[in-house]
Each structure stands twice: as C-alpha cells, then as structure tokens.
Structure 1
Amino acid sequence: MHMITEVAINANGQGLHSITTRIQSALSSATHGEGLCTLFLQHTSASLLIQENYDDSARIDLERWLNRLVPENDALYTHTLEGADDMPAHIKTALTATQLSIPFRDGQLMLGTWQGIYLWEHRHGAQQRRVLLHIAKD
C-alpha cells in the first residue's frame, strides 16, 4: 500500500517549529502496521530535520550557528527581490534537507527517546508550509 497525504504547517517566523505531533497524528489516522513514512517539504526556503526535543538550548544554538554561517545582507547576493532573508533562506535549505524518511510500527513513528521532527523556517515572516507524507507499507 502507498498513500500520500498533506499536512499544512503555519510557521510564525524564523526558527525550529516542532511538527512531531502533527505528523504522528496524520500517520496514525492513515495507517497501522509497519512501514516507512517519507516527509517532503514543498518549499525552497525552509527545511525538515530531526533534532533533540528535550532541551531548547540545542535548537537555539543550532539556529544561531546557521545564522552566523549564512548571514543576511551579504554583498555577494544578487537574489534580493523578496528581502534580506530570501537568499540566506535558500542557502540554508540547500545545506539542510527537504525530506526525511522515518520507519513506523503500529501507526507510531519509531523516533528515538529525545528525537522530534522540526520544520526549520528560514524566513522572518509568517509562512504556511506544506509537508507531504508518503506512507509505504506491505
């Protein structure tokens, strides 16, 4: 069986937004048994990642590090039509990921104890993002 469903995520500005509960809920209502859930983000200025879900400082440090690595207003950027955060957002997406694959069993994602799924919004303004879930099972 293969199935695709869409989850809309409202990201209220730049940062790591936990989406584990939303993804788990979509998966639980769609299937049981064992299989693989692939998440695909349909955007070029945001990312998906699995990160620590216990201590906020790990996510804060990660965001600060990436912002230092890819600063806004760099003189090299020519793609500035949508603002100072536009080209840095595209670079950050290129350095991270727009898809994840996570196994599931009995309708539950098989994440580790301290793992959560995050949408990493790279733009400052509020955005609505779409995540496709491709569910594959025997």
Structure 2
Amino acid sequence: MWVQRTFQLPARSRGFHLVTRTIVDAMPEIDQVQTGMMQVFIQHTSASLTINENADPDVRVDFETAMNHAVPEDLPYVHTLEGPDDMPAHVKASMMGASLMVPIGSGKLMLGTWQGIYLCEHRDHGGARRVVVTINGE
C-alpha cells in the first residue's frame, strides 16, 4: 500500500508544537498497516520537524530557549530582506531537519511512550505550514 497526502498545519506561534494527533488524524490509513513506514516532510525552509518528549510542556519552552541561544537573531546576517527572524529560522530548520521517518506496526505509529512529532516554528509569524505525509506498508 502507498498513500500520500499533502495538507496544511494551521499557523502557530513561534515555538515547538506537538502535531502527532493532527498527522495521525489526517492519515486514517495508518490503521490498515501491519508493517510499514510513514514519512513526514515539511515544504518550508523556516520551519522544521523533530521527534521528542510529548509529556512535559517545559520541554517545548526549553527547546525554544536552546535554539535561540544556538542561533541568535543578532548575528550580522546578510540575508535580512524578510526580517530579523528569517535567516535564523533557515539555520534552525537546517539544523533540525525537514523530514521524519516513523515505523508503523499493527496499525499504530511505533513512537516511544514519551515521543511525539513536533512542528518547530522558527518564525514569529510563519503562517500555515504544508506537510507531505507518505505511508508505505502492508
């Protein structure tokens, strides 16, 4: 089985947002897969995806703090046409990545107990974000 769907995640504030449920709800075919893989790809260069802890909301705050420390906005960037948060957003997106692979088993994502899929919004006003989700399995 192959299923591919492109859809938008609603606009979010800058930060790290759990989107596991949104993705699973958009891909009901997961239930039919006994063994397979799901790829999630974000079609943007100033937002990214990652998998990390899904329980304690402090993790999301700490992620934003750490990324802002690692990639500050006040560096002398050359690409500044789209505002001071744009180039740092590109750097953060490259560091974190545009794509995830998650195994599927017995009709469920095989995420660990405390794992969730995050949309990492690196812009102050990034807008809705398009993702392509592809499922392959049997």
TM range (shorter): over 0.9
- Helix, strand or coil at the partner of 2:119: strand
Cα shift at 1:44 = 0.3
Partner Cα separation in structure 2 for residue 31 and residue 7 of structure 1: 19
Map of 1:42 onto structure 2: 43
Could you list the runs of 5+ residues in structure 1 that have no partner in the other structure? none
Asked if residue 92 in structure 1 is aligned to residue 109 in structure 2, the reply is: no
Cα shift at 1:133 = 0.6
AA partner of residue 21 (structure 1) = R
Pairing of 1:10-89 with structure 2 (within 5 A): 10-29=10-29, 32-33=32-33, 34-75=35-76, 77-89=77-89
Alignment check: 8 A CA contact 1:47 1:98 kept: yes
Cα separation, partners in 2 of 1:114 and 1:30, compared to 1, 3 Å: closer
TM-score for the superposition, normalised by structure 1: 0.92
Q: For residues 111-137 of structure 1, what are the alpha-carbon distances to aligned partners after superposition, in whole Å with 9 as ceiling and x for unaligned?
A: 111111110000001411011111101
Cα shift at 1:105 = 2.3
Runs (4+) off by over 3 Å: none
Cα separation, partners in 2 of 1:59 and 1:91, compared to 1, 3 Å: same
TM-score for the superposition, normalised by structure 2: 0.92
Partner Cα separation in structure 1 for residue 131 and residue 22 of structure 2: 10
Map of 1:8 onto structure 2: 8
**Aligned pairs, number:** 137
**Percent of aligned positions that are identical:** 45
Alignment check: 8 A CA contact 2:24 2:30 kept: no
Cα separation, partners in 2 of 1:108 and 1:53, compared to 1, 3 Å: same
Alignment check: 8 A CA contact 1:53 1:114 kept: yes
Pairing of 1:99-138 with structure 2 (within 5 A): 99-138=99-138
